[in-house]
Amino acid sequence: MAADGGNRAVRLSFTKERRHKEALQGAAFLISIAMRLIADIDGPRHGLIRVSPQNLESLAKSLAG
């Protein structure tokens, strides 16, 4: 009976540690993806995400003319 309780305690601590490690790795992965997307938007001439600078173009037209 005591061996069974010890076995359950070790198994429970292992699964909690494993879940914690997986959650930490998942959070690190999501943060790295978010940082990559921000860096992609920041580089206007290259990258997957294209954002046109409409507000800057309208400002340039209003100053020029």
In DSSP notation, 23-40 reads HHHHHHHHHHHHHHHHHH
pLDDT tens digits for range 25-65: 888 999 999 998 888 887 767 777 777 778 888 999 999 86
| Predicted TM-score (pTM) of this structure | 0.51
47 φ/ψ sector (left φ>0, alpha ψ -120 to 50, else beta)? left
Distance CA 9, CA 11 (A): 5
pLDDT range class, residue 19, cuts 50, 70, 90: confident
| The pLDDT value given to residue 5 | 63
Q: Among 8-12, 15-19, 54-58, which range has the highest average pLDDT?
A: 54-58
